[in-house]
Amino acid sequence: MRLIMLGAPGAGKGTQAAKLAVAYNIPHISTGDIFRANIKGGTELGKKAKGYMDAGQLVPDELVCDLVADRIAQEDCTEGFILDGFPRTIPQAEALDAALEKMGLKMDAAVNVDVPDENIIERMGGRRACLKCGATYHMVYAKPQTEGICDKCGSELVLREDDKPETVKTRLGVYHEQTQPLIDYYEKAGILKTVDGTQSLEAVFEGIKAMLG
Ligand code: ADP
Ligand code: AMP
């Protein structure tokens, strides 16, 4: 199963992708997590990406397209994969199609987790992230067992720099302008599936699984 998770920042793509990765036993590939790991590790890529991310802007296409093409060509992606946070622009979607075509493959579905802007601010303000393992929590809707500590790896949870309200507004603007057109792109490709992302975590998960069959 080769899946794309679409949706506004904070819609719940990462939360659902992590659950789907376990259910279908395929890797969860989050470009945001890859960039954050590079920033933490002090790599050249991390240095290039940081300024864009902190400002709520997209990292340039040329820094992300080859990275994803290389990742999906790895051994663990043979049975499928879930892309979370990629593609985010039409040129990225075209680059993905070209990379897949070379491998003789196609995406199976693009799942649009649909959440209106007014719910997003609350979701992002309450989000707490583990920068070590990429796990995500919410202070009200998805609490860790011990406040401020990651259940999975025991690291400290943080409010991401780009989840502060001023940056969230910028990110939503960027989403509407550059990423939302992908909904049409995948509708035309015949693989778009839309789920109501305002439901509970479990209901969204069940809805996606039912659509994927
Ligand atoms: P994205 O990957 O789309 O940016 P996340 O999966 O990180 O979004 O979700 C954003 C925040 O909202 C997180 O704190 C997450 O725990 C919370 N969240 C995700 N899905 C739901 C839901 N269905 N109901 C309530 N909160 C949710
Ligand atoms: P995310 O973790 O998906 O919310 O991504 C956090 C930030 O990483 C985004 O706001 C962008 O700055 C950057 N980013 C992640 N994925 C991409 C992508 N596919 N294209 C451009 N920038 C990206």
The 10s digit of each residue's pLDDT in 170-204 is 999 999 999 999 999 999 999 999 999 999 999 99
pLDDT, tens digit, 9 for 90 and up, residues 35-54: 999 999 999 999 999 999 99
Quick one: 22 exposed, middle or buried, by C-beta within 10 A (0-12, 13-18, 19+)?
A: exposed
| pLDDT above 90 (res 122) | no
How confident is the prediction for the chain on average, in pLDDT? 97
* Dist. CA 130–CA 152, nearest whole Å: 9
Residue 126: closest CA among 91, 94, 158, 85: 158
What structural domains does the chain harbor? 2-116+177-212 (3.40.50.300)
Residue tagged 């839309």 (tokens):
194
User: Quick check: bond before 87 cis, omega within 30?
Assistant: yes
Q: Is 31 in the pocket of ligand 2 (CB under 6 A)?
A: yes
- Pick the ligand that lies closest to the CA of residue 121: 1
Amino acid at the residue 84: D
CA distances from 149 to 5, 78, 129, 140, 154 (A): 27, 34, 10, 15, 6
Annotated catalytic, 88?
yes
pLDDT tens for each residue of 2-32: 999 999 999 999 999 999 999 999 999 999 9
Confidence class for position 75, pLDDT limits 50, 70, 90: very high
What is the three-class DSSP state of 57? coil
Residues 6 or more apart whose Cβ sits within 8 Å of residue 91: 61, 65
Which one of the ligands is nearest to 120 CA? 1
Predicted confidence at residue 213, as pLDDT, reads: 85
